[in-house]
Structure 1
Amino acid sequence: MYEHLKQAWQQLTAPGQPFEVETVTVRGVPIRNYRHAPPSLREIWLSTAGHADREYLVYGGERCTYSEAHTFTASIARWMHDAGVRPGDRVAIAMRNFPEWMLAYWAVTSMGAVVVGMNAWWVAQEMAYALEDSAPTLLICDRERLQRFSEIREHFPALNVVAVRLQDEAPDWATDWTELVNAAPDMPAVSIDPDDDACIFYTSGTTGRPKGARLTHRGCVANVMNVAFINTVQPMAAALASGKPPPAPGSAPAPNALLATPLFHVTANNCVAHATTLAGGKLVHMYKWDAAEALRLIEAEAISSFTGVPMMAREILMHPDFARRDTSSLLVLGGGGAALQPDLVEKIQTRSRAARPNTGYGMTETSGIIAAVSADFFVDKPASVGPAMPTLEVKCVGPSGEDLGVNAIGELWVRGAPVIKGYLNRPDATAETITEGWLHTGDIARIDEAGFIFLVDRAKDMVLRGGENVYCAEVENALFAHDAVAECVVFAVADERLGEEVGAAVHLHPGAVLDATQLRAHCAGQLAAFKVPRHIWFLAEPLPRNASGKFLKRELRETLRVEDAQ
């Protein structure tokens, strides 16, 4: 089977083929790239106009075709241009998974401006930080985010604001979205360099402050082609292994995908939305996650592809409605943002009617996937995340950056077209994370003789809660901001549903009085809800330290019992 995968891989990437790979020099570094890749996301979007009357965006009872979406995006781009937005300017988008996100996204990237993806769960303080860091020309937000922005508006007096889905009339300092979609549908003519910024997505850092990852057009295009490649090469290999003729590239029906994870992350935006759009498929938006509603939509919209965090796939399979709903259209069930546990791979394989398990492993810093695996290959190697994509070199390195070779355990480094340009306003963090084009993933892994990657551990000090990265330093900073807290450490606590939850061990100043409810309320004013500690231990004695004075976090994590937490 793996020889057939190698054969299919070589055929698809050979000279003259759609996925032909070449080496180009970008910012002084030789990287792998697709020779026939479109130069920017503008070309990706404009190429989909031919899908015309196919359904594109679905939300509740609202339906939008590709033809309508192209008219809307041209109008939005023209309005923004007339409002002074120019190529290279930044436009922040802060909203839930409404169709307006995708329309705004394609309009902004197609006119050469840069999307700043704002985490919709951020509180006003976090929102203010990202706006100060990215300095956008325009903010597009829904009603809830508009209210949060109103709390900090005095700090951004020159920022133009567009309001989406208001229940009442827009305030006098904001423009209603209807003005944008009613403008003349005249997409500005611009020239976009492949290495121009396409979007800035924020990823938390060990310093406790989010970092703005600068994703380029080259990187985003390479990623969507990587998704198309993996969706082609593994079925082709399976066909070769069975003696059947391989499916012709592009012969698969257009997917119907359910958007269940936030569009301000690369999983939903760059992997699901980009790939579905390029293929002329349908994107069905969910307001918030609910397994029963997901199953209803799978049946009603004939969903063929579902990619979420692993707990979502698990909840779909375990929900009482799973046996009652028609899920026969579902061909792909899996996720990203966290590794699928081997038992979940087996459950998808045995319990679903037609769906096969799949997963993609990647990062914001790689514009999407690094590796992916599905179907028979995933069933055969359920602990693996698959082989690296054609546009990425990978290696496991030792302490000095030396390549450790096959099956050796070390930190995974990757280099190629999808790797970000760097972090916005953070040359220090960029230099620490990228060495001569090689991105240090912070993940401990090994690579087997077939090129399949196995994740062993995470070097980064973070909690992976339901696909959301929660960096411990950020939460510790919030805890230390309370006057009663003398010492604290934050770490991951295993959780059956979400994979990991946030735990905190806290030692108070002598005489201070504080309970868990009060401390969580304090954190909620500074952090998004998913970062607030679920498990809190109040320790009477100072926290244990090593000889250099660092807290012994691992010792606390291993000795504290969940049942003793508040």
Structure 2
Amino acid sequence: MHYAELKQAWAELTAPGQPFEVEEIEVRGNSIRSYKHAPPNIRAVWLSTAAYADRVYMVYEDERITYAQAHQRVNAIAAWLWAQGVRPGDRVAIAMRNYPEWMLLYWACVCLGVAAVGMNAWWVTDELEYALKDSAPKVVFCDEERLARILERPAMAADTRLVVTRMDNPPEGVLPFSEVLSRGGDMPEVQVDPDADACIFYTSGTTGFPKGAQLTHRGCVANLMNMGFSGQVQGLATMRANGIDPAAAPAPGVPAGLIVTPLFHVTANNCAAYALTAAGGKMVLMYKWDPGEALKLIEREKITAMSGVPTMAREVITHPDFATTDTSSLLSLGGGGAQLQPDLVAKIDSAVATARPNTGYGMTETCGIITSVAADFFVDKPDSCGPAMPTFEARCVDDDGQTVPPGHVGELWVKGAPVIKGYLNRPDATAESITNGWLHTGDVARIDEDGFIFIVDRKKDMVLRGGENVYCAEVEATCYRHPAVAEVCVFGVPDERLGEEVGAAVLLRPGHSLTADQLRTHCTGLMAKHKAPRYVWFLDESIPRNASGKFLKRALRESLKVEDAG
């Protein structure tokens, strides 16, 4: 394999004077790695795309928006926000499906130095209310479905301005989005601090409510450059290894990406949308995931890249229409949010003649990717997620925080420009997760002799369901709110489609009865639907515990059979 060529290309691209030159800087009292020639903030990234004026920027069903139109609308939104008194350091919430307005609002916010708060569109009213109170946005932009939830409890948005998209006759006191655009205006002149909050994305909480991760402009720009670096360094190494002169290689065409995961996550926003936008590419949005519809869009819009959670790639290549659909435009197919199973890496590589498999490993807390791997390197090490990008230091540590020897297993810690500032209003959670700039990923890993990282287990008590983190403690706390539940233990159950599903072992109180469907209904009334247990086992005796009183989760999981679940 081409690991010597990879090492050489890496050194060349990060050398002094080169675009990906890395420097050590001090941020928040810690010395971190950052790109020396990075744009100063996301505002600069967005404004640079005005050069692509005539290109199509976004496609949604029968709507097509050019870069020129997008800039005109972003300017209008920013001017309206400014007129409302929204200033750098304030927050604006976005609570809607993947409509084109999502990205237009996002760019307007970051251009003003205003933090865009991504609201999870799957949240039930309790979760939405918590996040609105936690982030205290000056304005909430929402769609009709989210507006209905907000209006269930008007007090949750009493101090905010409500604007609704795609609704002709909104209730009194709610402004239609069309009115924001109709006023027009120019982009206000604002100096944006690189270490200001760019956006706040909520991650599932271990004890009930989610935590608002504060992603900075510096971190988001570094993530964008990390993705660009990954493609260049692996491409350069592969070409040299195959005897191809990089100077003679054809220039890449204009990318077209299919966005198939929610924009309130870093996978779709910071990774897919950022990369497409910065390159002047086309972003194709879907109302909801449907593999058959995805294939039609790949053919119609000449999609070059689709990156979702692994199950989406699997559903595309196994769909009945796959063989009769023109997928020759695809250059990469893969995903993040969960590890691609090794068999899927090989299947992607063989199923689509033009496309190579790719994946990235990352977190909300790192503004996107930590590692990235594609093509020959991914096929050679299909159970790896690739090397850490240049703006990261990475090490594996033992339970005392001491670095373990190379090749040994330990919790992965990373430090660098993309690590978040912290969790909004949660200094305790920030201190627990970040030590002197080092982020504790909660994943157990090893790093091989080539610097490639292998995730071998999860230290956090968490289920990774279709790219969504579901914390077992949160589900357990919700189950315990049902009067019939005496004991409950929640854990992950392997699932071919979603990676993992949520399972729950339950002991009922004497004299009480409960069915699996009743428990699920109880849970979905209090939390997002994807967190509710898919598998429920009712036990006849108390859940086994260890000497310290903790449930023996692994032993319990191994003793229960899926076919016996409700």
Question: TM-score if structure 1 supplies the norm length?
Answer: 0.99
* CA positional deviation for 1:184: 2.3
Partner SS, residue 225 of structure 2: helix
State the alpha-carbon separation in 2 of the partners of residues 242 and 405 from structure 1.
34
Partner SS, residue 43 of structure 1: helix
Contact persistence 1:38–1:44 (CA under 8 A): yes
Contact persistence 1:73–1:185 (CA under 8 A): no
Q: Please say if 1:264 is aligned against 2:268.
A: no
Alignment of 1:474-485 (within 5 A): 474-485=474-485
Contact persistence 1:479–1:523 (CA under 8 A): yes
State the alpha-carbon separation in 1 of the partners of residues 130 and 249 from structure 2.
45
Contact persistence 1:395–1:405 (CA under 8 A): no
Q: Deviations over 1:335-355 (max 9, x none)?
A: 000000100000011111211
Partner SS, residue 402 of structure 1: coil
Which amino acid is 1:144 matched to?
E
Gaps of 5+ in 2: none
Which amino acid is 2:384 matched to?
S
State the alpha-carbon separation in 1 of the partners of residues 85 and 192 from structure 2.
18
Residue 235 of structure 2 corresponds to 235
Q: Please say if 1:405 is aligned against 2:405.
A: yes
Residue 155 of structure 2 corresponds to 154
* CA positional deviation for 1:242: 1.4
Partner SS, residue 324 of structure 2: coil
Residue 287 of structure 1 corresponds to 287
State the alpha-carbon separation in 2 of the partners of residues 404 and 445 from structure 1.
11
* CA positional deviation for 1:510: 0.6
Gaps of 5+ in 1: none
**Percent identity of the aligned residues?**
64
Alignment of 1:316-395 (within 5 A): 316-395=316-395
Q: Please say if 1:119 is aligned against 2:128.
A: no
The count of residues paired between Structure 1 and Structure 2 equals 565
State the alpha-carbon separation in 2 of the partners of residues 563 and 27 from structure 1.
52
Contact persistence 2:445–2:454 (CA under 8 A): yes
Which amino acid is 1:380 matched to?
D
State the alpha-carbon separation in 2 of the partners of residues 355 and 250 from structure 1.
17
State the alpha-carbon separation in 2 of the partners of residues 254 and 389 from structure 1.
24
Residue 138 of structure 1 corresponds to 139
Which amino acid is 2:522 matched to?
H
State the alpha-carbon separation in 2 of the partners of residues 297 and 155 from structure 1.
39
Of the structure 1 ranges 445-454 and 181-190, higher mean CA displacement relative to structure 2 is found in 181-190
Q: Deviations over 1:414-438 (max 9, x none)?
A: 0000000001111111111101100
Which amino acid is 1:199 matched to?
C
* CA positional deviation for 1:209: 2.1
Contact persistence 1:93–1:116 (CA under 8 A): yes
Residues 459 and 417 of structure 1: CA distance in aligned 2, closer, same or farther (over 3 Å):
same
Question: TM-score if structure 2 supplies the norm length?
Answer: 0.99
Partner SS, residue 530 of structure 1: helix
Residue 537 of structure 1 corresponds to 537
Residues 250 and 27 of structure 1: CA distance in aligned 2, closer, same or farther (over 3 Å):
farther
Q: Deviations over 1:159-200 (max 9, x none)?
A: 11110111x401112110001112223111111111000000
Residue 217 of structure 1 corresponds to 217
* CA positional deviation for 1:249: 10
State the alpha-carbon separation in 2 of the partners of residues 324 and 142 from structure 1.
36
Contact persistence 2:257–2:282 (CA under 8 A): yes
Residue 425 of structure 2 corresponds to 425
State the alpha-carbon separation in 2 of the partners of residues 162 and 473 from structure 1.
35
Contact persistence 1:72–1:181 (CA under 8 A): yes
* CA positional deviation for 1:279: 0.5
Residues 407 and 250 of structure 1: CA distance in aligned 2, closer, same or farther (over 3 Å):
farther
Partner SS, residue 25 of structure 1: strand
State the alpha-carbon separation in 1 of the partners of residues 247 and 446 from structure 2.
32
State the alpha-carbon separation in 2 of the partners of residues 243 and 278 from structure 1.
30
* CA positional deviation for 1:208: 2.5
Contact persistence 1:236–1:247 (CA under 8 A): no
State the alpha-carbon separation in 2 of the partners of residues 332 and 254 from structure 1.
14
Alignment of 1:452-471 (within 5 A): 452-471=452-471
Off by >2 Å, runs of 4+ in structure 1: 247-251
Residue 245 of structure 1 corresponds to 245
Q: Deviations over 1:479-533 (max 9, x none)?
A: 0011111110110011111110000011111101111111111111111110111
State the alpha-carbon separation in 1 of the partners of residues 121 and 273 from structure 2.
18
Residue 444 of structure 1 corresponds to 444
